[in-house]
Amino acid sequence: MELPFEVTELARGDAALARRALRLQLDAHRLEVEWLNYPALPVMWPDLAALHSCRDRILAAFEGNELRGLLVTSRGSDGGMHIERTVVDPAHLQQGWGYRLLNRALQGEDRVSVDTAEVNQAAIALYHKAGFVLEQRWNTTDGLALWRLVYRPSAAPALALGADGWMQGAQQLPSPNCDERSPGCAPELLVIHNISLPPYRYGGAGVEQLFSNRLDPDEHPYYQGVHQLRVSSHFFIRRDGHLLQFVPVGKRAWHAGVSSWRGREKCNDFSIGVEMEGCDFEPFSEAQYRTLAALSRELRRGLPLSAIAGHEHIAPGRKTDPGPWFDWRRAQDDSGLGF
């Protein structure tokens, strides 16, 4: 299967790729100088020699064989990570490349900082989206206002399952795509999915619109093939950890489709569906895992849940989500549920 995108370490020994990386960085630098109206902005690598001598970690984002962006990080004496520069091909801005690089760089990190110009609102919005908050503001000697942002992923929400099946602490958006469970069936299985609409893009209203039958087929080409689906999930966890609920837990959400678990078919009858905003090709966020932990613990207090599985496990060969980046050991430890 051809990957829609990939984020990996830059192979500096590949001479052609190194030249492409240098050219992308210089093109992005010229655009940033123009945006900031700040000619004194230093160039990260003026030439190939500077790139090859750089001791910092360099992540590269690819679409097929095409280089789309770079993210450079250094390591402080305290072990914390500092983002030196995030650069995206100027011809491919507003396509999610900065977030993909940042999302990969943050995996396993808890102390991360970055400096950016106050007027660079696109960069500030990107870092806020990934969980950064303002720590310090200062001016350079020639008057450029700078911000230092530090990584502070959202804390787990305070949740309480109501007698009506709605989770207090979640945003409630009732979906018509649900019905009663079969007689004698209670939720025993927590099923994890991933979803993004449009594919590989996060933060929009597509998922809520799909689950409420309001997806506009003219808004994006991909929607032409899915807007008539009648599907839902009980819960949806956004990249920033925000929790939405579409179906009360006592009812059957339409998330599993043709499925079986331990020899039992029709998993919708005895499961709770949780959609993680994401895809098969990149890690989920720290904030999402924190929310999933809080959600699964609260569900266990009120429901006879005994196991956790992915859509890929109850519909093998048909579904692949949540995919290879999902941390099953963490999810099991956090929830107390077996596989």
Report the catalytic residues: 275
> Cα-Cα-Cα-Cα dihedral of 16, 18, 24, 28, to 10°?
-170
List 178's β-bridge partners, or say none: 253
Cα distances (Å, whole numbers) of residue 12 to 20, 22, 35: 11, 11, 29
Q: How far apart are CA 41 and CA 139, in angstroms?
A: 14
301, 295, 152: which is closest to 233 by C-alpha? 295
